[in-house]
């Protein structure tokens, strides 16, 4: 009878030990999984977000370039953006933007950029985790992290001009479009905003003024067809104070020597 009791107690202890081992294994797995998530969140999330921002900037820039390209392919005459002002002699005295053409190009560009960003919202990119480690060998390994792009607010489109010198009495007028897009970069368990700014020149205009009879270079020499008749201009040189300082020192020395001779 005792042997049967011992046998039954031994059989009942085996399932309990297996249950304990199973619970210990599950606990170890949960600890390792938690530590793995903490490691990814602490060390891999910043580089993954950095790569995601780079990819988002590429996609947004492609959308902006597509908008500007569509304007060119539609046959927009960008030269009509500027209305030149002439004086009584027919020379250019100034310019101003054509407001109607300005608004038409700006509104068309805004519509194309916004539609493109709305279509980009439906796309999803995947970045391998190995790329976040910074190793070229592991760049293509590991699970792919999904990246989504969500437009935040409306795109801002501004058309403007700037001028710069292009030579003697010449000015280059550049007409450009400035586009600013606010997007959100979404990765698992994190989201950050990113502003994409870009400027795209759409037209260049060269304004040529009167050609001068002559002009002076950096050496003060007259250059031009009538340079021989130009008056000579001497460039002022820095005064040499060495002689004056030496004279003051000599006078001070003489005064000291004279005072020494007068003393008894």
pLDDT, one tens digit per residue, over 121-178 is 656 677 777 766 666 676 676 677 777 777 766 688 888 888 787 777 777 888 888 8
Q: What is the DSSP letter of 150?
A: E
Residue 58 resides in a domain: yes
User: Is position 226 within any domain?
Assistant: no
User: What is the pLDDT averaged over residues 64-70?
Assistant: 76
Residue 238 lies in a domain: no
Report pLDDT for 106: 82
Which residues, including other chains, have CB under 8 Å from residue 216's CB and lie 6 or more apart? 222, 223, 230, 233
Q: Which helix (H) or strand (E) holds 165?
A: strand 156-167
pLDDT score, position 115: 80
Q: Which domain holds residue 134?
A: 45-215
Q: Is residue 244 part of a domain?
A: no
Confidence class for position 68, pLDDT limits 50, 70, 90: confident
Mean per-residue pLDDT, 81-87: 74
- Exposed / middle / buried, residue 118 (Cβ in 10 Å: 0-12, 13-18, 19+): exposed
Stretch 87-91: mean pLDDT: 73
Task: Report the number of secondary-structure helices (H) and strands (E) in the chain.
Answer: 5, 9
Q: Tell me how many domains the chain contains.
A: 1
- Report pLDDT for 71: 67
Within a domain: 136: yes
CA neighbor of 132 nearest in space, from 40, 32, 57, 194: 40
Alpha helices (runs of H) in the chain, residue ranges in sequence order: 2-39, 45-73, 99-120, 129-132, 242-262
Summarize pLDDT for 170-221 with one digit per residue, the tens.
778 888 888 888 888 877 777 788 888 888 888 777 777 666 666 666 666 6
pTM: 0.57
Whether 102 is covered by a domain: the verdict is yes
Instruction: Give the pLDDT of residue 67.
Output: 73
Q: With bands split at pLDDT 50, 70 and 90, how would you rate the model's confidence at 118?
A: confident
- What is the Cα–Cα distance from 261 to 254, expressed in whole angstroms? 11
Of residues 239 and 58, more confidence is placed in 58
Pairing assessment for the beta strands 144-151 and 92-97 based on DSSP bridges = unpaired
Coil, strand or helix: which one is 137?
Answer: coil
Question: Within a domain: residue 111?
Answer: yes
Which residue carries 């249950």 as its tokens?
Answer: 19
Q: Across residues 105-112, what is the average pLDDT?
A: 82
Q: Indicate whether 261 pLDDT > 50.
A: no
The pLDDT score that the predictor gives to residue 262 is 47
Q: Is the pLDDT of residue 225 over 70?
A: no
Q: Which residue has the higher pLDDT, 232 or 7?
A: 232
At residue 247 the predicted structure's pLDDT band, cuts being 50, 70 and 90, is low
- What's the chain's average pLDDT? 70
Of the pLDDT bands very low, low, confident and very high (cuts 50, 70, 90), residue 1 is very low
* Residue 25 pLDDT > 50: yes
Please write the tens of the pLDDT for every residue from 33-46: 888 777 766 777 77
Phi/psi of residue 121, nearest 5 degrees: -60, -25
pLDDT band for position 256 (cuts 50, 70, 90): very low
pLDDT of residue 96: 74
Q: Please give the angle made by the CA atoms of 203, 65 and 74, to the nearest 5 degrees.
A: 65
Q: Is residue 148 part of a domain?
A: yes
| Average pLDDT of the segment spanning 226-247 | 55
């Amino acid at each position: 009878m005792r042997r049967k009791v011992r046998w039954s107690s031994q059989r009942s202890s085996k399932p309990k030990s297996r249950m304990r081992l199973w619970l210990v294994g599950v606990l170890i797995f949960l600890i390792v999984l938690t530590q793995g998530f903490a490691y990814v969140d602490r060390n891999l999330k910043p580089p993954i977000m950095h790569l995601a921002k780079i990819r988002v900037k590429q996609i947004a820039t492609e959308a902006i370039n597509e908008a500007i390209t569509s304007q060119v392919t539609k046959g927009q005459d960008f030269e009509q953006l500027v209305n030149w002002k002439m004086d009584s002699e027919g020379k250019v005295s100034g310019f101003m933007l054509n407001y109607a053409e300005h608004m038409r190009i700006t509104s068309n560009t805004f519509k194309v950029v916004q539609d493109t960003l709305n279509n980009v919202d439906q796309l999803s990119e995947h970045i391998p985790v190995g790329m976040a480690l910074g190793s070229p060998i592991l760049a293509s390994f590991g699970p792919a992290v999904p990246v989504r792009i969500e437009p935040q607010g409306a795109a801002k489109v501004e058309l403007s001009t700037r001028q710069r010198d292009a030579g003697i009495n010449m000015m280059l007028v550049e007409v450009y479009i400035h586009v600013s897009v606010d997007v959100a970069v979404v990765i698992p368990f994190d989201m950050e905003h990113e502003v994409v700014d870009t400027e795209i020149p759409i037209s260049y205009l060269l304004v040529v003024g009167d050609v001068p009879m002559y002009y002076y270079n950096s050496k003060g020499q007259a250059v031009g067809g009538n340079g021989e008749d130009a008056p000579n201009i001497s460039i002022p040189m820095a005064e040499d104070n060495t002689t004056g300082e030496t004279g003051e020192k000599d006078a001070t020395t003489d005064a000291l020597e004279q005072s020494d001779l007068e003393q008894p």
